[in-house]
Amino acid sequence: MFRFKRFTIQQDRCAMKVGTDGVVLGAWAEMEGAKRILDIGTGTGLLALMAAQRNAIAWIDAVEIDGPAAKQAAENVAASAWKDRIRVHRMDVRRVHITEPYDLIICNPPYYSGMMDSADARTSLAKHGAELTFNELIFSVDRMLGPQGTFALIIPIDREQAMLRIAEQHGLRPARRCAMSYLAARQGKRVLLEVSRNAGASAGSALVVEHHPGLYTEAFRDLLAPFMLDF
């Protein structure tokens, strides 16, 4: 179980647990004004719940291919204050058909393709991208994102250019970027990106999670203060 200030995540049946990447993305992505939000690969339901907390008007769809995770995400949503605005769907995002595009799509995607598969098949699917490639992800985003919409995600920084090349092929260009380091003394490991069809100049920033193990930076604490119990 993982308790936040305004909701609780049960995660014993989910292959991928609550982690820093997902929490940071949920707090960093621009959600103001979006009326329809899609969370691809919702897992525990974390990003969908963070979106509902931050945006009081949006209808949110959360898609998850793994059955036990989808069921637990639905239970986490049902126990929240926003159960009437979030719908969890157990399905493959590549097979989703929509009647109305989304203003915002968010995703903490499987991005370890090419590495050794996990011994647990569900973890492999969730973490290693054994099924959903970057090309398939962007193709799905392209067909579901509205003309003025934004796609926000977090990926390893060494795969940023590959992702941006694919996004460019679909007319999606960077609008915001944040390089994230887990420790101040180490180079950035992750990058948060927002891409859209009508992006102008890209705005860049950086975020350090900890000065050293156990001592969080003020920027990290400020970003997550609306969510984390200890901040």
Give the range of the structural domain holding residue 17, as residue numbers without chain letter. Answer: 2-153+160-171
| pLDDT band, very low/low/confident/very high, at 132 (cuts 50, 70, 90) | confident
Query: Could you tell me if residue 18 is inside a domain?
Result: yes
CA 61/CA 50 separation, integer angstroms: 13
Q: Enter the tokens of residue 61.
A: 């769809």
Radius of gyration of the chain (CA): 17
Overall average pLDDT of the 14-37 stretch:
96
CB 165 within 8 A of CB 210: no
CA 25/CA 134 separation, integer angstroms: 18
**Which residue would you say has higher pLDDT here, 202 or 55?**
55
Query: Could you tell me if residue 191 is inside a domain?
Result: no
What pLDDT does 131 receive? 62
Q: Give the closest residue to 180 by CA, choosing from 200, 160, 201.
A: 160
Query: Could you tell me if residue 143 is inside a domain?
Result: yes
| pLDDT band, very low/low/confident/very high, at 215 (cuts 50, 70, 90) | very high
CATH of the domain at 19: 3.40.50.150
Query: Could you tell me if residue 221 is inside a domain?
Result: no
Residue 130 has pLDDT above 50, yes or no: no
What pLDDT does 114 receive? 38
Q: Enter the tokens of residue 186.
A: 């180490």
Residue 32 has pLDDT above 70, yes or no: yes
Residue 127 has pLDDT above 70, yes or no: no
What pLDDT does 171 receive? 96
Q: What percent of the chain has pLDDT over 70?
A: 90
Overall average pLDDT of the 163-168 stretch:
96
Query: Could you tell me if residue 112 is inside a domain?
Result: yes
CA 193/CA 198 separation, integer angstroms: 15
Query: Could you tell me if residue 110 is inside a domain?
Result: yes
Query: Could you tell me if residue 202 is inside a domain?
Result: no
What pLDDT does 129 receive? 39
Overall average pLDDT of the 28-42 stretch:
97
CA 122/CA 138 separation, integer angstroms: 22
CA 97/CA 83 separation, integer angstroms: 22
- Model confidence over 71-111: pLDDT tens digits? 999 999 999 999 999 999 999 999 999 999 999 999 998 65
What is the rounded end-to-end Cα distance, in angstroms, of the chain? Answer: 18
Which range, of 57-71, 106-120, 136-150, averages the lowest pLDDT? 106-120
What pLDDT does 64 receive? 96
Query: Could you tell me if residue 195 is inside a domain?
Result: no
Which backbone phi and psi does 62 adopt, to 5 degrees?
-125, 120
Q: What percent of the chain has pLDDT over 90?
A: 86
Task: Give me the chain's average pLDDT, please.
Answer: 91
Contacts of range 60-63, beta carbons closer than 8 Å, 24 or more positions apart: 60/36, 60/85, 60/86, 60/87, 61/36, 61/37, 61/86, 61/87, 61/89, 61/102, 62/38, 62/86, 62/87, 62/88, 62/89, 63/38, 63/39, 63/88, 63/89, 63/91, 63/93, 63/96
Overall average pLDDT of the 107-129 stretch:
50
- Model confidence over 198-210: pLDDT tens digits? 887 778 999 999 9
Give the DSSP H/E element, type plus range, for residue 51.
helix 46-54
Say how many domains are in the chain: 1
**Which residue would you say has higher pLDDT here, 95 or 130?**
95
